[in-house]
């Protein structure tokens, strides 16, 4: 099949531990057959570590920093501060686990989805050295939970998951005809409509278009799922999703559950490569040599 290959990674806050496991499984065997990647919220953050080829970085950020009171703090939120301090997490991540930016920006290009607060629609930015901090802050800036509104390049933004949680259609629009999607919900999940939609008008009265986008989020999310299940005839969509027993929620802080979710991601990534790409991996072993782990995986 002609066309590009894209990797799409959903967000989901702490549920992103699953994608971190999948991507670490990919890194374990230097698996990257993609032409470009698109990340949303935590998915974009996970992709930084993957494209920088820094195995375990995302796991360390999630389990070691995202569980810290400096990041997630309900008491601070009650007092008028952030429930989640996205800027702190990003800055502390770069301080504690510096990115190999040379590898990152010489890898496949990374696109991040953000939600424009003036339109309620998704905008997409290629992540580059001069905009990385602002783009990653914006794509992870959970509305209401993170009070600042990141602004750059002439616009102001909030979490990309509001307008486009799973940007498979955008990947297709940009020429991808084989799309691999890493979800943060089980494969049979469908988002339910918001129970109190009018509440958004009060909580987001400064940004009415974001409030409207929040009310439409389930509809947009389920439309992306419909595309995944029934893609155009010239496109193949491969899905990696957590099992129904995945124990991690958006704000799960218990490390044992996060470790369990990470392990599920590792196994799902290995199974994906075995089932869909074992011939490619076998060819890698023949042409380049590899570790015993790779040989065992594809034998």
How far apart (Å, rounded) are the C-alpha atoms in residues 223 and 30? 33
Identify the active-site residue in 20, 41, 93, 184: 41
Instruction: Classify residue 202 by burial, with Cβ atoms within 10 Å: 0-12, 13-18, 19+.
Output: exposed
Closest Cα to residue 83, out of 146, 137, 13, 161? 146
Closest Cα to residue 42, out of 26, 53, 58? 58
How far apart (Å, rounded) are the C-alpha atoms in residues 33 and 22? 15
Query: Is 159 noted as a catalytic residue in this protein?
Result: yes
Measured between alpha carbons, how far is residue 246 from residues 4, 150, 192, 250, 263 in Å? 31, 32, 19, 12, 10
Identify the active-site residue in 20, 24, 93, 159: 159
How far apart (Å, rounded) are the C-alpha atoms in residues 62 and 59? 5
Closest Cα to residue 50, out of 269, 297, 278, 197? 269
Phi, psi of 12 (to 5 degrees): 115, 20
Structure tokens at 118: 């003036």
Q: Are strands 110-116 and 155-159 parallel, antiparallel or unpaired?
A: antiparallel
CA angle (126, 269, 289) in 5-degree steps: 95
Instruction: Classify residue 252 by burial, with Cβ atoms within 10 Å: 0-12, 13-18, 19+.
Output: middle
Query: Is 41 noted as a catalytic residue in this protein?
Result: yes
Q: How many CB atoms lie within 10 A of CB 140?
A: 30
Give catalytic residue positions.
Answer: 41, 159
């Amino acid at each position: 099949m002609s066309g590009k290959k894209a990797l799409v990674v959903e967000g989901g806050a702490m549920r992103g531990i699953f994608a971190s496991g999948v991507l670490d499984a990919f890194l374990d065997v230097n698996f990257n057959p993609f032409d470009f990647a698109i990340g949303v919220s935590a998915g974009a953050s996970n992709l930084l570590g993957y494209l920088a080829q820094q195995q375990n970085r995302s796991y360390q950020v999630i389990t070691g920093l995202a569980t810290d009171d400096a990041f997630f703090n309900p008491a601070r939120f009650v007092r008028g501060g952030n429930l989640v301090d996205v800027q702190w997490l990003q800055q502390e991540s770069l301080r504690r686990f510096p990115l190999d930016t040379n590898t990152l920006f010489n890898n496949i290009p990374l696109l991040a989805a953000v939600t424009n607060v003036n339109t309620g629609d998704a905008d997409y930015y290629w992540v580059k050295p001069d905009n990385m901090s602002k783009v990653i802050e914006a794509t992870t800036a959970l509305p209401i939970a993170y009070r600042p509104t990141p602004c750059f390049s002439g616009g102001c933004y909030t979490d990309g998951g509001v307008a486009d949680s799973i940007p498979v259609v955008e990947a297709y629009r940009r020429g991808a005809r084989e799309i691999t999607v890493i979800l943060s919900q089980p494969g049979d999940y469908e988002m339910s409509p918001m129970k109190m939609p009018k509440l958004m008008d009060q909580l987001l009265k400064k940004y009415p278009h974001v409030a409207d986008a929040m009310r439409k989020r389930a509809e947009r999310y389920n439309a992306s799922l419909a595309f995944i299940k029934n893609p155009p005839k010239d496109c193949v969509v491969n899905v990696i999703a957590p099992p129904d027993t995945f124990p991690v929620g958006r704000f799960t802080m218990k490390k044992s559950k996060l470790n369990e979710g990470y392990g599920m991601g590792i196994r799902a990534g290995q199974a994906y490569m075995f089932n869909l790409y074992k011939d490619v991996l076998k060819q890698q072993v023949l042409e380049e040599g590899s570790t015993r782990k790779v040989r065992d995986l594809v034998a």
